[in-house]
Structure 1
Amino acid sequence: MARTWPCGTGAPFDDCCRPYLDGEAAPTAERLMRSRYTAYVRGDGGHLLRTWHPTTRPRRVDHDPGLEWLGLEVLRTEAGDVGDAFGVVEFRAAYLADEPGVLHEVSRFARTDEGWQYVRGRMVDDGVPTIP
């Protein structure tokens, strides 16, 4: 039986996030966001940097081994499809650090010559503890 991965689609890893983590361009902003979540779970900073828009990309991404990602819930998407230039994905990602918490973000994506790329995110304060 094929193992599913934490991005939340329920699809086997080889059919879902693996191609994007291996360098294939994601077809939609949501698929890219799910692959980036999987990269955070795996500590794959290379994928995160590769898929970060050059105008906002940090020099490096540090993996926090004390942070355990528990699950992803996509709340909504706007545009971000095959023919779009921009997209928005709102999600919640549960985690466990010293205490449990939820990262709630509205992420913005742009399509470039390299495919979909993460531009920036805005945290949503819904009263749930978030990453400091």
Structure 2
Amino acid sequence: MRCPCNSGESFEGCCAKYLQGIEGGTVVYPPTAEALMRSRYTAFARGDVSYLLRTWHPDTKPASLELDPDQQWYSLEILSTSRGGYFDDDGVVSFRASYRSAANRKLRDSLTETSSFTRQGKQWLYLAALEIH
């Protein structure tokens, strides 16, 4: 099965290890802000609320999160990245995520967002949406 994040990799070879949080007995974190963005998109696509909350910065994280069951996420396009690399402590990722209605698959739309990320130790965290269209 291909990974929902559109990396071209299999789910097991891409975001699964991040959503599960462990690989081969070792705790695994996305190594870049973009990798975290991709894994968070995958969590949205798979309905994994616990991962979304676990990777949200505590200063901006909501107390709870309820996903819209009518939204079926089917495509992610990374538009740009700024910083967020292996040696950075912050980063910005712009992306377009497309979804369709589960009730009426002909109803399609997309969300374009620029998000900020920060790293605490080895773990990248989603901080906030800087811009949403």
Alpha-carbon distance between aligned partners in 2 of 1:110 and 1:123, rounded to the nearest angstrom = 17
| Aligned residue number for residue 19 of structure 1 | 17
Once the two structures are overlaid, the 10-residue window that deviates more, 58-67 or 92-101, is 92-101
Q: In percent, how many aligned pairs have the same letter?
A: 46
One-letter code aligned to 1:20? Y
Alpha-carbon distance between aligned partners in 2 of 1:108 and 1:5, rounded to the nearest angstrom = 23
Change (3 A) 1:82 1:25: same
Residue 114 of structure 1: how far off its partner (Å): 5.2
Query: Which consecutive segments of 4 or more residues in structure 1 shift more than 6 A?
Result: none
- From 19, 26, 42, the counterpart of 1:38: 42
1:1-132 equivalent positions in 2, closer than 5 A = 3-23=1-21, 24-97=28-101, 99-113=107-121, 115-125=123-133
Question: Where does the alignment leave 5 or more consecutive residues of structure 1 unmatched?
Answer: 126-132
Q: Do the aligned partners of 1:39 and 1:47 also contact (CA within 8 Å) in 2?
A: yes
Between the two proteins, the alignment pairs up a number of residues equal to 123
Question: Where does the alignment leave 5 or more consecutive residues of structure 2 unmatched?
Answer: 22-27
Q: Output the TM-score relative to the length of structure 2.
A: 0.88
Q: Do the aligned partners of 1:32 and 1:116 also contact (CA within 8 Å) in 2?
A: yes
Q: Which digits, 9 at most, give the CA deviation of each residue in 1:34-78, with x for residues without a partner?
A: 000000001000000000001000111112111111200000000
Q: Output the TM-score relative to the length of structure 1.
A: 0.88
Q: Which structure: greater strand fraction?
A: 2
